Amino acid sequence: MIGGNESCTAGPMPISYLTCLTYVLGEWTGVEHIEDYLSYAVYLLWVLLPLAIVFILPGGLVILFYTSILLLHIYKRKNELKEAYSNDFWDGGKQMLATLWDAHGRIWHGYELHGAENIPEGPGLVVFYHGATPADYIYFMARLLIQRKRNCHVVADHFVFRLPGFKILLDAHGVMHGPKEECVSALKKGCLLAIAPGGVREALFSDEMYTIIWGNRKGFAQVAIDAKVPIIPMFTQNVREGIRTLGGIKILRSLYERIRLPIVPLYGGFPVKLRTFIGEPIPYEPNITADELTAKTKAALQALIEKHQKIPGNIFRALMERFQTQKKDD
């Protein structure tokens, strides 16, 4: 048997595997002193490894999304000849995914939901601040389904409906394109509906200052007025510390405004503490205008941010909050 340091020979003297590989590469490429280049390459790999990790970690969410899609396909195939539950074919599938995402939120972020009692028994419009990804909303939706058996539909950007393989996931959870009439109809049927008025623009181009980026969007307010339902503000603490974007680069902002596709790179995936806070509902007022209700909702959401988020956000502090047993005072 050949020992670990006697793996190959060059002439009469045994040499190690690494030396042998260096020798073979040198002969093959014709490069002299190739061992110096290899040493430099190993050094660069060591230096750049942390940078590579912070760009690779967000891919974990993509894997989780496609795992969810795979589970729904298995669920659908298993139950295609019978209804899983009396009311909704997808009830069992949604419970299964809620368990998966809630477990991920608990383990990776120590996820907590506070103020769920502010969500009315009937219909309501949940308005939330959009982080770099919607992971916090998914944790909220999962926890709400598990604890209170409530489904919460959501309005998503049009590009989401063009993502490969996502159709079954969107259908199962009743994700909407967002036409006003469809949203009003869902609310009048008694549904709980969620929307982030800032949308993709807020997700990509807000920052650790947690700036609300709504522009002139006020359609959500008109939806609440037409459906005669309350608005429930929602904010997740440290949502921008888990995953951040390179949205501060001006050319990326210009590119988005031109083609309207979310191609801004993400980085992070850090296991920071996430706490979702549900504010007090803003009740329906028959004489309020969409402009007034938009301003009122924005002020309520800003108040939640100021109360529960230390500005500017800090990744290290958000990580250390995983070890705190007490949340910031409500």
**Residue 148 has which token pair?**
């209170």
The catalytic position among 109, 130, 153, 308 is: 130
Question: How far apart are the C-alpha atoms of 230 and 124, rounded to whole Å?
Answer: 5
Q: Give the CA-trace dihedral at 312, 268, 236, 171, to 10 degrees.
A: 150
Query: Do 284 and 188 contact (CB within 8 A), yes or no?
Result: no
Question: How far apart are the C-alpha atoms of 237 and 319, rounded to whole Å?
Answer: 12
Beta strands in 210-327 (DSSP E): 231-237, 243-245, 266-268, 275-278
**How many angstroms separate the Cα of 99 from the Cα of each of 105, 138, 157, 239, 288?**
10, 11, 25, 21, 40
Annotated catalytic residue 130 = yes
SS3 percent helix, strand, coil of the chain, rounded to 5, is 50, 10, 35
Active site residues: 130
